[in-house]
Amino acid sequence: ETYRGQFKEGERCGFGECIWPVSGLHYKGEWECDNFHGNGVLDAKEYHNKIHTGPWHYGVQHESGTTINYE
């Protein structure tokens, strides 16, 4: 994986972008304690045919977010 962004005490924290080339996942947004946390976009078109946009809570998409399915 490749991460570009802010760190705090050695963990991804603040705003950043991470790409996982093997799975094709791409996340751009806010982080806390090495987790997606706050607003962000997870592009999983290559992996799950989906894009998740909206708020995240420690790696879990909040129910008020939006998921677009590409079938």
pLDDT of res. 62: 85
Given this model, what pLDDT does residue 68 score?
86
- The one-letter amino acid at 27: Y
Residue 69 exposed, middle or buried by CB count within 10 Å (0-12, 13-18, 19+): exposed
**pLDDT tens readout for residues 14-64:** 999 999 998 889 999 999 999 999 999 999 887 778 899 999 999 998 888
**How many residues in the chain?**
71
Answer for the pair 19, 45: CB distance below 8 angstroms, yes or no: no
* pTM score, whole prediction: 0.87
